[in-house]
Structure 1
């Protein structure tokens, strides 16, 4: 059997229809049920793999790893030793609420992966044993022949065999919101993704027309599967803003510690206050000086700024991409 296209780097857009079918050991009549079963065992299900993420326990408690939070926890420990349980409870409540806010915000960011998986089709019209039938999309294998109609979501990466006024919306991959016309003729080998008009990509939406195509890639081997893999493997990087915030937090914690010690020294040596009273006053000063709501305030401020930009249509997107000229951009600033 000819090796199937199990990698997105293997090109089919520069090959004719007959060449692609031959390479996939398929035909216009589709695969047999036995052959489809064998290929399913070889290539697995047509689904995006989900990498194991950090546990909820880790995601929650990592929000306590902050210089200012350490100062608050130290203050809570001191008030506990002094027997001021109400003060301890208030300080710990502030710390926990801050961690909960960060945990919720992080959870919203991780919804990106779930959003990509929801783009995949649930069912597909497949030709098996010469008969058209509707099957779960996760049962598709390379070489399957599928039918597309208006309103369908493309179930896998496909090479078009027949098209009738077929147009597909591919903004999730190319950023172009206008539907793209599909045809069967091969295109240049170096054509960019947006110019590969003989291909249809998993997760995109058929807006009009109909067509018949052969499956060339499934699951993680599809173009949208590559995006899913990149998102799963992304490493957290410190931006200049977060670096400045962390540096500010360290400087602020140092300044608060020095002022607290100065307050203790003056209270004990100059005014000769009782140690318990001056310790409690110093702890109150330290807790009041720490802006524990600063991360939440910063996030809300940035979100409001983005909302105002969106309200003014301050959006830049590619509207024309060519293999030789690259992409042109349209500024939609109102």
Structure 2
């Protein structure tokens, strides 16, 4: 894996076998076939019952359930009920957090830009963001959502809204220097 942010713009282009005029349509199609579409893989959905039951598939939970069995055999009903209560509260919290994580991933998928402006054969072309490939030269304008993981080649008055990453409510000015 190359750390593209450490490379000069020309070295980054050379690494992905590209240039400032962009890829040819044939090369972009070849790379799309090679690397696949630019999209997050959808998570395998599990039903709510399975998601809840999987909260109990944990070594610590097994130890707690064994402890509950032992305390019930000893007729320590208060201890048994406390342990079982802790196990179910833990499962409920895990279930809720996993649901929130799934919703957050869905929100990130919806935030991704559906289209991108790229250079293809020295012309600006609007394509679906899913059709972006390594080596594409993406043109961003004010207000655009970034459609992929990008290496900036040049920028002017760059301000980034990082709310999705940091919770920062205002755009942050970035100092960018091409090396």
TM-score when normalising by structure 2: 0.68
Structure number with greater CO (CA < 8 Å, separation at least 6) is: 2
Q: Which runs of structure 2 are paired with 1:224-263 in the superposition (5 Å)?
A: none
Name the counterpart of 1:179: 172
Counterpart of 2:115? 123
Q: Is the Cα contact below 8 Å between 1:28 and 1:145 reproduced in 2? A: yes
Aligned partner of 2:132 in structure 1 is 140
Shift of residue 48, structure 1, vs aligned partner? 0.7
Q: Which secondary structure state, in structure 2, belongs to the residue aligned with residue 138 of structure 1?
A: helix
- From 35, 41, 46, the equivalent of 2:38 is 46
Q: Distance in 2 between matches of 1:161 and 1:132?
A: 16
- In structure 1, runs of 5+ residues without a counterpart are 1-6, 68-101, 187-334
| Change beyond 3 A, Cα 1:62–1:166 | closer
State the Cα distance separating 1:174 from its structure 2 match.
Answer: 4.7
**Higher share of residues assigned strand:** 1
Give the SS at the match of 2:152: strand
Q: Which runs of 5+ in 2 are unaligned?
A: 57-64, 66-91
Cα distance in 1, alignment partners of residues 52 and 136 from structure 2: 45
User: What does residue range 139-178 of structure 1 map to in structure 2 within 5 Å?
Assistant: 139-174=131-166, 176-177=168-169, 178=171
- Kept after mapping to 2: 8 A contact 1:124/1:136: yes
Residue 157 of structure 2 contacts residue 173 of structure 2 at CA under 8 Å; is this kept in 1?
no
